[in-house]
Amino acid sequence: MSPASPSGLRRGTLYVGLDSSTQSLTAIVIEVNGTDARVVFDASLPFDETFPQYGTDHGVLPRTQPDEAFSSPVMWADALEAILEKVATSGLDVSRIAAVSGSAQQHGSVYLNGDAGRMLSRLDPAQPLASQIAPILARRIAPIWLDSSTSAECAEIADAVGGSDVLARRTGSRAFERFTGPQIRKFAASDPGGYAATERVHLVSSYLASLLVGGEAPIDPGDASGANLMDLADKQWWPAAVGATASGLAEKLPTIAPSWSVAGTLSPYWQARLGLPPARIIAWSGDNPCSLIGVGLAREGRVAISLGTSDTIFGLMKEPRVDPSGTGHVFAAPTGDYMGLTCFSNGSLARERVQDAYGFTWTDFSRALDITPAGNQGRVLIPWFEPEITPAVANPRVHRYRLSEDDAAANVRAVVEAQQMSMAVHSTWMSVSIDTIHATGGAAANKEILRVMADVFGAEVYRSTVSNSAALGAALRAWHGDTVAEGTPLPWDTITAIARPNTSSLISPNPVRHATYRELMPIYEACEAHALGQGPDPTPALERFARR
Ligand code: ADP
Ligand code: XUL
Per-residue H/E/C for 65-101: CCCCCEECHHHHHHHHHHHHHHHHCCCCCHHHEEEEE
Separation of alpha carbons 417 and 420, rounded Å: 5
Mean pLDDT of 358-387: 98
- Mean pLDDT value of segment 342-363: 97
Average pLDDT rounded to a whole number, residues 340-357: 97
Distance in angstroms between the alpha carbons of the first and the last residue of the chain: 67
Q: How far apart are CA 351 and CA 345, in angstroms?
A: 11
Contact 346, 184 (CB under 8 A): no
Can you give the pTM of this predicted structure? Answer: 0.95
- Find the ligand nearest to 287 CA: 2
Q: Strand, coil or helix: what is 283?
A: coil
> Radius of gyration over alpha carbons of the chain, in Å?
23
Q: What is the pLDDT of residue 7?
A: 35
- Ligand nearest the Cα atom of residue 146: 2
> Ligand 2 in contact with 343 (CB < 6 A)?
yes
For atom 27 of ligand 1, which residue has the closest CA? 443
Counts for the chain of helices (H) and strands (E), in that order: 22, 21
Compute, in angstroms, the gap from residue 341 CA to the centroid of ligand 2.
10
Q: What is the rounded average pLDDT for all residues in the chain?
A: 96
Tell the burial category of 285 from Cβ atoms under 10 Å away from its Cβ (0-12, 13-18, 19+): buried
The pLDDT of 204-218, averaged and rounded, is: 98
**Range 452-458 average pLDDT:** 98
Distance between CA atoms of residues 155 and 159, nearest Å: 6
Per-residue model confidence as pLDDT tens digits over 228-259? 999 999 999 999 999 999 999 999 999 999 99
Note the pLDDT tens digit of each residue in 79-102: 999 999 999 999 999 999 999 999
- Return the DSSP state at 179: S
Calpha distance 453→451 (Å, rounded): 5
What is residue 5's predicted lDDT score, i.e. its pLDDT?
38
What are the φ and ψ backbone dihedral angles of 329, each rounded to 5 degrees? -130, 150
CA of 442 to the centre of ligand 1 (A): 3
The predicted-structure confidence for 399-445, as pLDDT tens digits, reads as follows 999 999 999 999 999 999 999 999 999 999 998 889 999 999 999 99
Q: Do 105 and 441 form a contact (C-beta atoms < 8 A)? A: no
Q: Is the pLDDT of residue 342 over 50?
A: yes
Ligand at minimal distance from the CA of 308 is 1
Please give the helix or strand (H or E) that residue 212 lies within, else none. helix 204-213
Rounded mean pLDDT of 343-364? Answer: 97
CA 329 to ligand 2: nearest atom = 6
Q: Which helix (H) or strand (E) holds 439?
A: strand 436-440
Residue 4 has pLDDT above 50, yes or no: no
Q: Which atom of ligand 1 is nearest to the CA of 349?
A: 16
Q: 22: left (phi > 0), else alpha (psi -120 to 50), else beta?
A: alpha
The per-residue pLDDT for 11 is: 60
308 lines ligand 2 (CB under 6 A): yes
The atom of ligand 2 lying closest to the CA of 106 is 9
pLDDT digits (tens, 9 = 90+) for 463-506: 988 889 999 999 999 999 999 999 999 999 999 999 988 889 99
Query: CA-CA distance, 333 to 223, in Å (whole number)?
Result: 9
